[in-house]
Structure 1
Amino acid sequence: MDAKSNQLPDDVEEQDQSEQCLRLTITVPKDATPESKLPVVVFIHGGAFFLGSGERKYYDPLTFCTQASDMGKPLVFVSVNYRLGALGFFHSPHAEGLMPANNGLHDQITAFTWLSRNIGGFGGDEDNITAIGQSAGGESLSLHNMSGRRMPLYKRAIMFSGTPLTMPDKTHSEHQDNFLEQANKLHIYTENLSSMQVAERMIKCDVSKIRDLAYVGSPCVDTEIIPHRGHATQRIIAAGKVSQISWLESQIISSCSYDGSISNIMMRGDDSRKDHAKSFIKISREVLNNPETLLQIYGIEETTTDEEALEKICQFESDIGFFSAALAVAKGTADKTSTYFQLFDLGNPFPGPLEQKRFASHTWDIVALLGAYEDRLSIDYAEKIREWRARYIKYIVDGEAPWARFKKGGKESMFVVPNEGPAKELTLESVLEGRLKDLLDLAKEEGSDGADKLWEGVCRRWLMKGE
C-alpha cells in the first residue's frame, strides 16, 4: 500500500514486517577502502512510525551515489530500519521494564552508535555523517536534535516533511490509556490486572495480532530522548523554547507544497468517508473563533463536491501541518545552528489519483533526490532534479551552503524548487503571499495557540474522525 498511497510506481514487492528488522543497508563505491574516509549519509525512512522500510525500491540510492561519484565527491550511503507501530512505540509507564518508551527512536540511536564505531571499515568517515529523514524519519531527527543530547549522533541533518508538530508526541498518561485500550482489543481484560500483568500477557500474544491492531506509533515525552513536558506546540517551538542543539553544525528543513497528498489518496479508497465539505465546515465552526475566514481561504462551501473538497482540505493539511510546522521549527532553531529552509513544489510525474505534475506530493521529494525512477523521467525534468541534487551532494560532502541561510527576524531566505523554471532563492516574505499569508494571519487571530488549534483541533480531528 505504501507505493500506491504515495503515487509512485507500484512495481514494488511487499515486505513482511518483523521485529527482527534491526539491520543497515550500506552502499559504498567499488574502490572504497578503510582508509578512504568518505562522507557518510544515513537515511531514516518515513511511514508515520508504523510502516515502511529503508529497503523499499523507491529509496534505492544508486542514482544519488553515482552522481556523487561522477562529481568527484564519492560518499557512503546507509539506510536504517527501526521497530515500528506497537513493536517500536507501545509504552506503559506502569510496566516500564517490559514496555519502555520510544523503542523505535532508541533503535535509531543504536544504529548511529554502531556506525560511529564501524563505518570506518566500510570506507566512511565517522566524523562526517549527514542524516536525512523523511516524514516520520524527519520528525525523528528533529527529536534527536532537540533532545539536549551532549554527544553528537551526526554532523548535519536534513528533514523532509516531518517535524515534532506534524505527528504530535504523547504524554506517559496518554500512552498508558492507549496501552490499556489496545490490550482490550487483544481480549486481555485489564480491569483486575496490574499493568505489569497486562504487559506480560500482551508479550505472549501472537505478534501478528499486535501488528493487526494497526496502532500508529507516537513518541513519548518526558523521556531521555524528549525531555520537554507536554506536547510540542507550534508556539513553543517557534519561540525558540527548545533544547540546545549545539553539536549540530547545520540543518536543512523542507516541506512539499502538497504533503496532504498522502491523506487525499488514502481517503479516496475509504468508502465510509463522504460529505467532506459538510463535516469539515461543522468541525471548523465548533473549534474556531473565525471559521468563515478559514473556509473562505480554501473556498470550501457545503455544496463543494467530495473530490474538490478533499483536494482543498488536504491543501490546508499541507499548509498548516507541514509547511507551517516546518517554518515554526526553522524559526525556533535558526539561532542555534545554521539553518536552510526549502519548499519543494516540483509536481509528481507519475499517473494516479492526483493529476500528474500538478502536485508536489508527500515522499516525492526524497524519491526524486535519491533517484530510483530517474530513467522514467523526461530529459528536462530529470536535469532539473540533477541540478537540485548537486546542491545536496556539495552540502553533504563539503559542507557547502546549499542556498542562503535562514536568519530569524530579518528577510528570511528560502529555496523553492518549482514546477516551472529553475530552482531559485526567494525571501520568505515573497512566498508568504495569498493563501499562506492569509492562513498564518488567521492563526494569529485565533490566539497564542492558533496554529495548534487549526492543526490539532480542525485538521487532524477531521482526518481521524471526519465528524
Structure 2
Amino acid sequence: MDAKSNQLPDDVAEQEDDENCLRLTITSPENVTPSSKLPVVVFLHGGAFFIGSGQRKYYDPLTFCKQALAMDKALIFVSVNYRLGALGFFYSPKSEGLIPPNNGLHDQITAFEWLRTNIDGFGGDKDNITAIGQSAGGESLSLHNLSGRKDPPYKRSIMFSGTPLTMPDKTPSEHQDNFIAQAKKLEISTESLTSKQIAEKMIACDIAKIRDLSYVGQPCVDSEIIPHKDHANQKSIAAGKVDQVDWLESQIISSCTYDGSISNIMMRGDDKRKNHAKSFIKIAKEVLNNPERLLKIYDVNESTGDEEALEKICQFESDIGFFSAALSMVKGTADKSTTYFQLFDLGNPFRGPLEQQKFASHTWDIVALLGAYEGRLPEDYVKKIREWRERYIRYMVDGEAPWAKFDKSAKEAIIVLPNEGMARETTLSSVLEGRLGELLNLAEEEGPDGADILWEGVCRRWLMKGE
C-alpha cells in the first residue's frame, strides 16, 4: 500500500504485520571491529505513524553505504522500527496508565539509548551519530529536537518532509475523545464503564481488530517528550516560542516541491471523493477573508475538472503544509543550531498515476538518497543524485557543511533541479518569487495565524472531510 501511494516500484512482497517489531537493522562494512569507530547514521521511517517499516525495500541503504565506502567515508547505517497505529500513538489520559502517550516516540528513544550503549561493539562511534527521518520519522526527530533533552542522543539531524506542524499533535483531551470513538468502533460499550475498564476490554481484543483501526493516533502534547501544553503552530514555531535545539550541533530541514502527491494518489482511488474544486471553493469561502486570492493563486474554479483540481489542491497542500511548515521550523530554530534548508525538486521517475519525472513526490527524496532503485534510473538522474548524495555523506561523516547555512541576511536554501544541471544553491527570496511568495503573503494578510488557518482550516479540513 505505501509503495503504491508513494509511486515507487512495488515488486516485492509485503512484510507481515507483527507487534513484536522493536528491532534494528544494522548495515556495516566488512571486517569492522570495536576499535573502528565509524560514524553512524540512524534512520526513522515514515508512514503517518500507522504504516511502514525501516526494512521496506525502497529504504535499502546498500547503494548509499557503497558510495560512502568508495569515497573512503565508511559508515554504519541503522534502520529503526517503532510501534505504529494504536499500539504506538493511542492514548487515554483516564485509563490509569494502561494506555500511555507516545509509545512510538519512547521506542525511538529506547533505540537511541541502545545504540549509545552498544554500537561500539558493531564498530560505530556513539559520539558521531546523525539521525535522519522522513515524513513521520522527520516529525519524530523534530519533536525530539524540541523536547529540551539534556542527554543528546545524536549529534546532527536531518528531517525530510516531516515537522510537528504537518501532522499536528493532539492534546490529552483530544486523545481521550479519540479513545472513546475508537472503543465504539470496536463495539465496546462506553456508557457505564470507566476509561480503565474500556482500556482493559480494548487490550483484550483480537489484535487484528486493533490493526483494522489503522490511522488512530498521533503524538501527544503536555507529556514527557512534548512538554508544551498545546498544539505547535507555524506562528509560534517561526517565532522561536518552543524549547530550542541548542544541544544539537546542526540540522538539515527539507521538503519536496510536491509532497502532496501522497494525498493525490490515495484520493484518486477513493470513489467517495468527487467534485474536488467545488468542495475546496466552499471551504475557502467559509474560512478565509480573501478566498478569491487563494483560488487565483492555484487557478481553481467551479469548472476545474477533478484530476486537474486534485493536482492543484495537493500543490497547495505541499506549499502550506510542508514547505511553509519547514520554513517555520527553519526560522524558529536556526539561531540555536546551525541549520541548512533544502527544497527537493527532482521529479519522480517511476511509472504511476502521476506523470513521470514531473513531480518531486513525497518519499522519493529519501529513496533517491539511499539509492534502492538506482539501477532503474536515467543516467542524468544517477549523476545528479550521486553528487547530491556525496554532500550528505560528507555531512554525516565529518560534519562538513553541505551548502550555505540558513541565516537571516542571506536565507539560503538548496534546490535539486531536474532540468537545470546539478544541485545548486539559491536565496530564499528567489524561491519565493511567484506562487510560494504569493501564498505566504496571503497568509500574512489573513492575520497573525494566517498560515495555520490556511493549513488547518482550509487544507486539512478538505483533506479529511472534503466538505
What is residue 300 of structure 2 aligned with on the other side? 300
| Secondary structure of 2:94's aligned partner | helix
The correspondence of residues 257-272 of structure 1 with structure 2, limited to 5 A, is 257-272=257-272
Deviation of 1:246 (Å): 1.9
Bigger mean CA deviation after superposition, 4-13 or 209-218: 209-218
The correspondence of residues 63-78 of structure 1 with structure 2, limited to 5 A, is 63-78=63-78
The correspondence of residues 172-211 of structure 1 with structure 2, limited to 5 A, is 172-211=172-211
The correspondence of residues 455-466 of structure 1 with structure 2, limited to 5 A, is 455-466=455-466
Instruction: Give the TM-score, by structure 1 length.
Output: 0.99
Deviation of 1:152 (Å): 0.3
The correspondence of residues 47-446 of structure 1 with structure 2, limited to 5 A, is 47-407=47-407, 409-420=408-419, 421-446=421-446
Q: 2 CA distance for matches of 1:73 and 1:211?
A: 41
Deviation of 1:102 (Å): 0.1
What is residue 21 of structure 1 aligned with on the other side? 21
**For residue 416 of structure 1, what is the amino acid of its counterpart?**
I
Deviation of 1:16 (Å): 2.0
**For residue 367 of structure 2, what is the amino acid of its counterpart?**
V
Deviation of 1:18 (Å): 2.1
| Secondary structure of 1:92's aligned partner | coil
CA-to-partner distance for each residue in 1:278-322, whole Å, 9 max, x for gaps?
000000000101100000000000000000000000000000000
Change (3 A) 1:41 1:303: same
Deviation of 1:418 (Å): 0.8
Q: 2 CA distance for matches of 1:315 and 1:291?
A: 17
CA-to-partner distance for each residue in 1:137-177, whole Å, 9 max, x for gaps?
00000000000111101000000000000000000000000
Q: 1 CA distance for matches of 2:348 and 2:171?
A: 37
Deviation of 1:31 (Å): 1.9
Q: 2 CA distance for matches of 1:428 and 1:96?
A: 49
Q: 2 CA distance for matches of 1:301 and 1:16?
A: 44
Deviation of 1:215 (Å): 2.7
| Secondary structure of 1:299's aligned partner | coil
| Secondary structure of 1:93's aligned partner | coil
CA-to-partner distance for each residue in 1:211-230, whole Å, 9 max, x for gaps?
10123420000001000111
Deviation of 1:373 (Å): 0.2
Q: Is contact 1:12-1:56 (8 Å) kept?
A: no
| Secondary structure of 2:4's aligned partner | helix
Aligned CA RMSD, in angstroms, stands at 0.6
Deviation of 1:411 (Å): 2.4
CA-to-partner distance for each residue in 1:311-359, whole Å, 9 max, x for gaps?
0000000000000000000000000100000000000000110000000
Q: Is contact 1:61-1:371 (8 Å) kept?
A: yes
| Secondary structure of 1:426's aligned partner | strand
Q: Is contact 1:85-1:216 (8 Å) kept?
A: yes
Q: Is contact 1:156-1:249 (8 Å) kept?
A: yes
Q: Is contact 1:48-1:217 (8 Å) kept?
A: no
Deviation of 1:441 (Å): 0.2
CA-to-partner distance for each residue in 1:229-280, whole Å, 9 max, x for gaps?
1110000000011102221100000000000000000000001100000000
| Secondary structure of 1:127's aligned partner | strand
Q: 1 CA distance for matches of 2:8 and 2:48?
A: 17
Q: Is contact 2:90-2:216 (8 Å) kept?
A: no
Matched residue pairs, number?
Answer: 466
**For residue 417 of structure 2, what is the amino acid of its counterpart?**
P
Identity %: 76
**For residue 250 of structure 2, what is the amino acid of its counterpart?**
S
Bigger mean CA deviation after superposition, 327-336 or 206-215: 206-215
| Secondary structure of 2:324's aligned partner | helix
Q: 1 CA distance for matches of 2:409 and 2:207?
A: 53
Deviation of 1:425 (Å): 0.6
Q: Is contact 1:348-1:358 (8 Å) kept?
A: yes
**For residue 17 of structure 1, what is the amino acid of its counterpart?**
D
Q: 1 CA distance for matches of 2:24 and 2:58?
A: 16
Q: Is contact 1:48-1:216 (8 Å) kept?
A: no
Q: 1 CA distance for matches of 2:19 and 2:99?
A: 14
The correspondence of residues 448-459 of structure 1 with structure 2, limited to 5 A, is 448-459=448-459
Q: Is contact 2:255-2:323 (8 Å) kept?
A: yes
| Secondary structure of 1:263's aligned partner | helix
Instruction: Give the TM-score, by structure 2 length.
Output: 0.99
Q: 2 CA distance for matches of 1:265 and 1:464?
A: 15
| Secondary structure of 2:158's aligned partner | strand
| Secondary structure of 1:387's aligned partner | helix
Q: Is contact 1:169-1:220 (8 Å) kept?
A: yes
Q: 1 CA distance for matches of 2:367 and 2:378?
A: 16
Deviation of 1:378 (Å): 1.6
Q: Is contact 2:387-2:422 (8 Å) kept?
A: no
| Secondary structure of 2:356's aligned partner | coil
Bigger mean CA deviation after superposition, 230-239 or 95-104: 95-104
Q: Is contact 1:54-1:80 (8 Å) kept?
A: yes
Deviation of 1:96 (Å): 4.0
Q: Which consecutive residues of structure 1, in runs of 5 or more, have no partner in the other structure?
A: none
| Secondary structure of 1:349's aligned partner | coil
CA-to-partner distance for each residue in 1:71-110, whole Å, 9 max, x for gaps?
0000000000000010101101111421000000000000
Q: 2 CA distance for matches of 1:216 and 1:410?
A: 42
